[in-house]
Structure 1
């Protein structure tokens, strides 16, 4: 968050120290979950003394931990918050996923990018009996999934390469993309056409069509999965506009779920002085 954004948000009646602390957590997440004070100063625009004070508080609360090399990493207490936040997301998503199942007859999923992994947070199963690998709570590497491609297509290529370097690209099937160059070429196609396809790459005989949920508070994608014999190119052409429409509707639902601002002046901030 640039300094101008910090000043603007604090003028809205919020608690400046809280706004700054959450901004630092987001900068850490953008940096891959681990960073140093000088990097945080460069990315946030905040003075080093302010960052050091806020980080001490976050460490004491368990939301950040300090590594032996003196760098800071996101802490374990954030996992509990993330899991709790995913539950209402799933509740809001299910009616929209149910609409996809009703229209396509196939299984619909919602997935988030959590660190370097894709986690499935909501699912409405197909009426057909075929069981696929996806299930709520499952975590997978993003390179072999349609939702993973949809999620990573929104990132710069350099960040995608760094992520793939951390996760590796093992083959789930003979169709899995296993090199960064091949995967980045696939992402270019996703950006051009506005949807991603997993074509037998995670599970032989299964195709998945996925799109990004625009303007989601956390990176999210929805998908339709089913047998490759049913999710043909012709079927995909018909399903993509519906997926994109449902993604927009889900985005609007998530935006509408934000809590209204409370009335009255903001709470005084004992750390509101500059620096």
Structure 2
């Protein structure tokens, strides 16, 4: 009687395995290697190696220069993606650690390509983040994250942002006009602290501090309910004191 195939044994694609062995062989030579040497090191017949090397070169995983094969741009993109994912994980881990330590939601935001972007958030059901009921990108004047990021821009970039996203009332407590906002941003730049109370959403107060994270302005922020506002400044100052451990994770040109 025929033996039933073992369902636990995976179906392996031989050509993929051989291509990966070739990539590993290429990776062991910083200055590249010729096809014959790569075939020998990968344990492949030369015709098979030639076929796979042509395919990998066509797809951008390898490039051929002066008779040797080196990694191509597709491999470099994969490597950058892995590094970026690792950095994202470190950032999220740090935000979660501070969330648990401070008992408040913690936000990480960047100003990139002319827009405000919340790139990381750690919250819990007991300490939920402020609901984004009005687009954060268009209401930077009304929340601590936006005020902190705008305070880090040069005058020309700031004016450009406010031309595209004019100051407008979000709540009865929102900064009243562009001139008042510019004065607020100057004070924020000096103190390196942005604080807003019910300017973005009623019932919440927020604070943000600038973070040096590559070439893009960045900020860490927290929020608490209005009835707990006495916790805001001690918590953000504690975050400021402890954020050095995150800077190593953020010291890159942010693209998350």
TM-score class normalised by the smaller sequence: 0.5 to 0.7
Q: Is the 8 A contact 1:150 1:221 kept in 2?
A: yes
Match of 2:245 in 1: 249
Computed over aligned residues only, the root mean square deviation of the Cα atoms, in angstroms, reads 3.2
Which residue among 117, 120, 123 is the counterpart of 2:121?
123
Which residue among 157, 180, 183 is the counterpart of 1:182?
180
Q: 1:99 to 1:105 in 2, by over 3 A?
A: same
Q: TM-score, normalised by structure 1?
A: 0.54
Distance 1:85 1:144 in 2: 34
Structure with bigger RCO (C-alpha 8 Å, 6+ apart): 1
Q: Is the 8 A contact 1:101 1:125 kept in 2?
A: yes
Match of 1:267 in 2: none
2:103 counterpart of 1:98 = no
Gaps of 5+ in 2: 1-80
Which residue among 202, 205, 214 is the counterpart of 2:203?
205
Match of 2:159 in 1: 161
Distance 2:145 2:235 in 1: 15
Q: Is the 8 A contact 1:107 1:225 kept in 2?
A: yes
Give the secondary-structure state (helix, strand or coil) at the position aligned to 2:120: strand
Distance 1:85 1:148 in 2: 28
Quick check: which has more Rg, 1 or 2? 2
1:183 positional shift = 0.8
1:217 positional shift = 4.1
2:212 counterpart of 1:238 = no
Q: TM-score, normalised by structure 2?
A: 0.58
Q: Provide Cα deviations, 1:136-157, integer angstroms capped at 9, x if missing partner.
A: x964431111111111111233
Equivalenced residues, count: 173
Which residue among 132, 141, 144 is the counterpart of 2:142?
144
Q: Is the 8 A contact 2:172 2:199 kept in 1?
A: yes
Gaps of 5+ in 1: 1-82, 259-275
Q: Is the 8 A contact 2:216 2:253 kept in 1?
A: no
Distance 1:96 1:202 in 2: 26
1:205 positional shift = 0.7
Distance 1:255 1:90 in 2: 12
